[in-house]
């Protein structure tokens, strides 16, 4: 692995995004860190700069122009973009009769539209290079069909479909496209309903390690599912 690779990651400063950023830094990647809270992003950029080159971009993945800025920052500061990780996501548990229009909009704009906008910008940069990897962070919710996951599950299932379609379209360009769908992890994602986090939910460092293996070992497997030990059994 050359030590001059560049990764851009959305939702970089906490949860899985922070674990992935640390994984990239350990492997010598330079980083473009996307996040929407200025103070949290600054503090995380400070931490990452102790380990590697890092540049923070205040951005909201729901805004196409912000997604373009993330990718442009990689190209302008570091000359290229090797890996884009569409990691930012939001979760709300609500059934079909309770979920609000705003919650549906938030989940689809963040979990699906954001990755589409960022990928559009990345494809342009990666086609120029003739290489790159666009990695979307899905969820087992895409295939588990949990009650209460009406919009979250649907947004992640749509993300998987988007990934498969983009992968077909980009065959022959040198751009790799994949989606990694973890099961439950111990993160802030569930801050609206903390009792949702179970004892066997996975540590982000463990999941990030599996994702780094996926990045470093290109295979034909484009949708990787990593279930937590006591998770959905596939019935």
Our CB check for ligand NAP shows the closer of 132 and 231 to be 231
H/E element, 114: helix 114-129
> Binding segment for ligand NAP among 25-33, 44-52, 60-68, 93-101 (CB under 6 A)?
60-68
Q: What is the separation of C-alpha 183 from the centre of its chain, rounded to a whole number of angstroms?
A: 14
Q: 93's torsion region: left (phi>0), alpha (psi -120 to 50) or beta?
A: beta
Alpha-carbon distance 139 to 161, whole Å? 13
- Among 29, 46, 152, 232, the active-site one is 152
- Is 16 one of the binding residues for ligand NAP (CB under 6 A)? yes
Please select the residue that binds ligand NAP; options are 62, 133, 149, 176, rule is CB under 6 A. Answer: 62
- Is 32 one of the binding residues for ligand NAP (CB under 6 A)? no
- Tell me whether residue 89 is exposed, middle or buried, using C-beta atoms within 10 angstroms of its C-beta: 0 to 12, 13 to 18, 19 or more: buried
CB of 133 to ligand NAP, least distance (A): 17
- Is 23 one of the binding residues for ligand NAP (CB under 6 A)? no
Angle CA 99–105–106, to nearest 5: 95
Please select the residue that binds ligand NAP; options are 112, 185, 211, 225, rule is CB under 6 A. Answer: 185
Diameter of the chain measured on Cα atoms: 51
CB 45 within 8 A of CB 24: no
- Is 60 one of the binding residues for ligand NAP (CB under 6 A)? yes
Buried b (16+ CB within 10 A) or exposed e, 1-23: eeeebbbbbbbbbbbbbbbbbbb
CB of 7 to ligand NAP, least distance (A): 15
Give the footprint of ligand NAP on residues 193-232 (CB under 6 A). Answer: none
Give the footprint of ligand NAP on residues 122-181 (CB under 6 A). Answer: 137, 139
> Binding segment for ligand NAP among 14-22, 43-51, 117-125, 208-216 (CB under 6 A)?
14-22
Q: How many residues bind ligand NAP (CB under 6 A)?
A: 27
CA-to-CA dists, residue 41 to 12, 130, 185, angstroms: 8, 31, 22
How do strand 223-226 and strand 132-137 relate by DSSP bridges? unpaired
CB of 219 to ligand NAP, least distance (A): 21
CA-to-CA dists, residue 87 to 2, 79, 100, 182, angstroms: 23, 22, 24, 12
Please select the residue that binds ligand NAP; options are 9, 81, 90, 150, rule is CB under 6 A. Answer: 90
Our CB check for ligand NAP shows the closer of 55 and 139 to be 139
- Is 17 one of the binding residues for ligand NAP (CB under 6 A)? yes
Active site residue 29: no
Please select the residue that binds ligand NAP; options are 30, 110, 163, 178, rule is CB under 6 A. Answer: 110
Active-site residue numbers? 152
């Amino acid at each position: 692995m050359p030590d001059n690779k560049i990764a851009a990651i959305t939702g970089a400063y906490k949860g899985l995004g922070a674990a992935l950023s640390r994984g990239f830094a350990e492997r010598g990647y330079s980083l473009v860190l996307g996040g929407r809270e200025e103070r949290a992003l600054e503090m995380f950029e400070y931490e990452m700069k102790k380990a590697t080159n890092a540049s923070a971009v205040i951005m909201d993945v729901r805004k196409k122009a912000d997604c373009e800025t993330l990718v442009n920052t990689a190209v302008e500061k570091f000359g290229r973009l090797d890996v884009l990780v569409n990691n930012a996501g939001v979760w709300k548990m609500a059934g079909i009769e309770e979920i609000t229009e705003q919650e549906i909009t938030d989940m689809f704009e963040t979990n699906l539209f954001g990755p589409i906008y960022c990928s559009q910008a990345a494809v342009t940069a990666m086609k120029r290079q003739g290489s790159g990897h666009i990695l979307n962070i899905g969820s087992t919710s895409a295939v588990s069909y949990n009650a209460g996951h009406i919009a979250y599950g649907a947004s992640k299932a749509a993300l998987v479909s988007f990934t498969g379609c983009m992968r077909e379209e980009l065959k022959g360009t040198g751009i790799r496209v994949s989606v990694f769908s973890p099961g439950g992890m111990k993160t802030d994602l569930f801050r609206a309903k903390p009792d949702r986090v179970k004892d066997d939910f996975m540590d982000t460092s463990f999941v990030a390690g599996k994702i780094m293996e996926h990045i470093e070992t290109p295979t034909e497997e484009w949708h990787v599912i990593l279930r937590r030990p006591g998770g959905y059994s596939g019935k």
